[in-house]
Amino acid sequence: MPKFIADLHIHSRFSRATSKNLDPEHLALWAQKKGIKVVGTGDFTHPGWISELQEKLIEAEQGLFRLKPDLAASIKPAIPDSCQDSPRFMLTSEISCIYKKNDKTRKVHHLILLPGFDSVLKLNRRLEQIGNIRSDGRPILGLDSRNLLEVVLETSDRAFFIPAHVWTPWFSLFGSKSGFDDIEECFEDLTPHIHALETGLSSDPPMNRLLSQLDRYLLVSNSDAHSPAKLGRESNLFETALDYDAMVKAMTDGQGFSGTIEFFPEEGKYHLDGHRKCRVRLHPEETKSRKGICPVCGKAVTVGVFHRVDDLADRDHPKISKAFFSLIPLTEILSEIHGCGPATKKVTRIYEDLINTLGPELHILMDASLEKIKQTGGVLLSKAIDRMRNNKVIRQEGYDGEFGVIRLFDDGEKDEPYQNRISSDYQGERQGDAL
């Protein structure tokens, strides 16, 4: 069976606060630079996006699509030879359900996978009667999660429904400000139709697997990318035939699903508790001793993912069933090494050089030999990647919407020529800022 990487939760340019570049061509381009074989389309509920997809994609395998040949040819020159590998698209979308249940307001996001345009259009006709699906690629519906699931199941018996980023405080199944304490309370009689949960950036398998109530669910990871360059920052490893039903089966029974690619959970923006505006960051035990109150403003802090997991956990040691790889985006590693921002021209140029020589980013981060990395990217890069692969990272946790920072080198540790005034200033500012 082929081994491949899939990132199924992303957005199009029809969603709010997303890049204008999010069209099928740029998604295909970046999927190849990252080394992703199957990428979700996102936003299939949006009429403008779905008609663009119908125009630009053709079915490649059962339930998977690829760019039409003329479009594929048009992006080919922009893709390094080392990365050429025609990606597939799966029709996916995210829906935001906001509703009241058992006297509490619930705001829960869900990811939906469908096998073809017919079923997408059928679902869209149903949803259009419930709410406005034209104004946003991620529509907000006043619909109970259970009832959305029912509508989806009625649309196609091949549909797959995944609660999205289940721990984020504001919009998720287990969210401290929005969700439930158990899955049955959310989906009731239809709970058996849920087979997989998306864990989000701020949690990883060792955290999730402290909850016995999650034992019967597969954990999946996706990027929720709002720009092409963020594709695959979290993603899934499949070892199945390349088609829709095989992938859905793997996510249903776990066979052929070999693991996930993860952020270090501390990098996620809701890992710890606190208030971003008050610059207060608290560990769960601190939050509890302060009775959930922010010492600066006196209001309730935003309770993060680590705290929620801790509250609902019923084990001391995680029961881990699948492999997972904790990675740092390559531009962030280069940013630390070279002492400048991850989106600067310098980092972009080095990034392009690296994938040109070594292959797709995820290959460089996970599999490429350290010797080759050293030859192309220098000794600091190979040292950095070696440390990342062995979990030897310095973690500064994110909280209340602020991303954490994962570093690989102590201050002063980097040798010449990179250790210079700019880089130490930069690190100092970043550290100071975050508290």
Partner DNA sequence: TAAGGATGTGAAGGCGCACT
Partner DNA sequence: AGTGCGCCTTCACATCCTTA
Under rule CB under 7 A, residue 20 binds DNA = yes
Assign 58 to helix, strand or coil: strand
Residue with smaller CB distance to DNA, 9 or 209:
9
Crossing angle, helix 345-358 and helix 330-338, to 10 degrees?
120
Number of residues in the chain: 435
Under rule CB under 7 A, residue 353 binds DNA = no
CB 382 within 8 A of CB 330: no
DSSP-H helix ranges across 108-243: 117-130, 145-155, 183-187, 205-208
Under rule CB under 7 A, residue 142 binds DNA = yes
Crossing angle, helix 345-358 and helix 370-377, to 10 degrees?
130
> What residues have CB less than 8 Å from 363, skipping those under 6 apart?
35
CB 138 within 8 A of CB 11: yes
Decide: residue 355, CB within 10 A, 0-12 exposed, 13-18 middle, 19+ buried: buried
Crossing angle, helix 379-389 and helix 330-338, to 10 degrees?
130
> Pattern 357-386, binding to DNA, x per CB under 7 A?
------------------------------
Under rule CB under 7 A, residue 431 binds DNA = no
Size of the site for DNA (CB under 7 A): 37
Residue with smaller CB distance to DNA, 144 or 204:
144
Q: How far is the CB of 269 from DNA (least distance, A)?
A: 7
Q: How far is the CB of 107 from DNA (least distance, A)?
A: 8
Binding residue (CB under 7 A) for DNA from 3, 125, 126, 346: 346
Q: Segment 102-121, which members bind DNA (CB under 7 A)?
A: 104-105
Under rule CB under 7 A, residue 147 binds DNA = no
Under rule CB under 7 A, residue 19 binds DNA = yes
Q: Which residue has the tokens 């080198």?
A: 409
Q: How far is the CB of 401 from DNA (least distance, A)?
A: 4
Task: Report the chain's terminal Cα–Cα distance, integer Å.
Answer: 48
Kindly report the three-state secondary structure assignment for every residue of 129-166.
Answer: HHCCCCCCCCCEECCCHHHHHHHHHHHCCCCEEEECCC
Torsion of CA 184, 190, 194, 200, to 10 degrees: -50
| CA angle at 162 for the pair 160 and 164, rounded to the nearest 5° | 150
User: How is the chain split among helix, strand and coil, in percent rounded to 5?
Assistant: 40, 20, 40
Q: Segment 266-325, which members bind DNA (CB under 7 A)?
A: 269
Binding residue (CB under 7 A) for DNA from 59, 76, 170, 283: 170
Q: How far is the CB of 20 from DNA (least distance, A)?
A: 4
Under rule CB under 7 A, residue 401 binds DNA = yes
Binding residue (CB under 7 A) for DNA from 48, 69, 295, 341: 341
Under rule CB under 7 A, residue 141 binds DNA = yes
Q: How far is the CB of 309 from DNA (least distance, A)?
A: 17
Q: Show the tokens assigned to 165.
A: 């980023």
| Piece in contact with DNA (CB under 7 A), picked from 32-40, 284-292, 313-321, 422-430 | 422-430
Under rule CB under 7 A, residue 17 binds DNA = yes
Under rule CB under 7 A, residue 132 binds DNA = yes
Assign 53 to helix, strand or coil: helix
CB 11 within 8 A of CB 22: yes
Under rule CB under 7 A, residue 435 binds DNA = no
Binding residue (CB under 7 A) for DNA from 154, 413, 422, 428: 422
Residue with smaller CB distance to DNA, 33 or 66:
33
> Pattern 60-99, binding to DNA, x per CB under 7 A?
--------------------------------------xx
Q: How far is CA 382 from the centre of its chain?
A: 25
Under rule CB under 7 A, residue 40 binds DNA = no
Residue with smaller CB distance to DNA, 208 or 222:
222
Residue with smaller CB distance to DNA, 134 or 372:
134
How far is residue 292's CA from residue 290's CA, in Å, rounded to a whole number?
5
Binding residue (CB under 7 A) for DNA from 316, 345, 417, 432: 345
Torsion of CA 357, 360, 366, 371, to 10 degrees: 0
Residue with smaller CB distance to DNA, 240 or 260:
260
Assign 114 to helix, strand or coil: strand
Binding residue (CB under 7 A) for DNA from 12, 32, 208, 227: 227
Under rule CB under 7 A, residue 216 binds DNA = no
How far is residue 395's CA from residue 187's CA, in Å, rounded to a whole number?
36
Binding residue (CB under 7 A) for DNA from 16, 125, 216, 315: 16
Positions in the binding site for DNA (CB under 7 A): 16-21, 98-100, 104-105, 131-132, 135-136, 140-142, 168, 170-171, 224-227, 230, 269, 340-341, 343-346, 401, 422, 426, 429
